[in-house]
Amino acid sequence: MLYHWTDTAPIKEDQPVSAPHDPTAAAAAAAEEPGHSALVSIERAPYLSTVYARNHRIAADEPRAMGGGDAGPTPYELLLASIGACKLITLRMYADRKGWPMESATIALSHTRAGAGTDLREFITAELELSGPLSPEQRARLAEIADRCPVHRTLSGDLTLSTTLVDDSSGQA
């Protein structure tokens, strides 16, 4: 069962999003390995999409030059941000667990394409900057660990991406 964004409670800036509850989905999720989900909706505004994840709401849009309203990051920018956030969260967890003096970390990501047709290749590059009195060995290990974050592993692993069309429950043709 899918939910339309109007099925969720109105979002106020100082209150969390109230996601709809589906007991069958909750039972199915409990029977499987824990996963993650997001609900994304689009209305009539060109390209402006609203992303709902847990109790958060994020706007996604295209730049004005592409016909959008530039009301939020593009889908590729959100993808890069997800990868970067996962890498840095993973580094923070690892450094803290090891007691290493990583004061901060910053990562800059970019997405490019090369070639065309069947020769098209896509690249995501990340430049990692670590701050703190880390030894060269600690810095090298943290760079290795960054590539082991769950999102990086999901995207570089055996990923199947599928879309299923569900019936429109509004009764509109």
How do residues 106-160 score in pLDDT, each as one tens digit?
Answer: 999 999 999 999 999 999 999 999 999 999 999 999 999 999 999 999 999 999 9
Number of domains making up the chain: 2
Q: Check which CATH number belongs to the domain holding 147 and give it.
A: 3.30.300.20
Q: 15, 36, 66: which is the final residue of a domain?
A: 66
Give kind and range of the element (H or E) at residue 131.
Answer: strand 121-131
Q: Could you tell me if 55 and 92 lie in one domain?
A: no
Mean pLDDT of the chain: 85
Q: Could you tell me if 47 and 116 lie in one domain?
A: no
For the chain, counts of helices (H) and of strands (E): 4, 5
With a cut of 90, say whether residue 28 has pLDDT above it: no
- Record the pTM: 0.76
Helix-, strand-, coil-residue percentages of the chain, each rounded to 5: 35, 20, 45
User: Whole domain around residue 60: which residue ranges?
Assistant: 5-66
